[in-house]
Amino acid sequence: MTAWNNVAKAVSDNPLVSMFWSPNNLGGNPASDLDEWYPGDDTVDLVGIDCYPQFTNQTFEWCYKDFYDRFAAGKQKPFAIGETGADTELKDNWAKELVGQSRAEYPNYISMSWFEYLKQGVDFRLVMGDEETLEQTKETLGLSH
């Protein structure tokens, strides 16, 4: 917490800097285990949690709801997914999960960041793989012409 507080203090007078607290989801329901690591409402501007689903039953709700309820809705903080992605078999479904959430159920959900990378043989890419990958992603998200 010392490092977090030092950075928060150093940037506190800069309105262009926001402090984003985004731990990793290590599986299941991590929200209650994170209370001791939460830096505090006075230094956290937005919250998020990273999650990489491994199975189709690991939905948006499975990855984020408990954390969202506790730290975003519960503390009235904007919620952004710092990092996520899925392998080839789960990619289309996971992309739909991320963009298909109800604003009524998750009003503090403002953003997400996809891990756009080919890492150790696992293809997380949505748009940068090749033209076919890009077109498939557009079709999945209903953006194709």
Using alpha carbons, select from 77, 74, 49 the residue that is nearest to residue 63. Answer: 49
Tokens matching residue 73: 């809705």
Question: What pLDDT tens digit does each residue of the chain (145 aa) get?
Answer: 899 999 999 999 999 999 999 998 766 555 668 888 899 999 999 999 999 998 888 899 999 999 999 999 999 999 999 999 998 888 888 998 998 888 899 999 999 999 888 888 888 887 777 788 778 878 877 776 6
The C-alpha atoms of residue 102 and residue 4 are separated, in whole angstroms, by 32
Q: Decide if 72 contacts 82 (C-beta within 8 A).
A: no
Task: Note the pTM of the prediction, 2 decimals.
Answer: 0.85
Note the pLDDT of residue 71. 96
CATH topology of domain 18-140: TIM Barrel (3.20.20)
Note the pLDDT of residue 119. 87
Note the pLDDT of residue 117. 84
Note the pLDDT of residue 9. 96
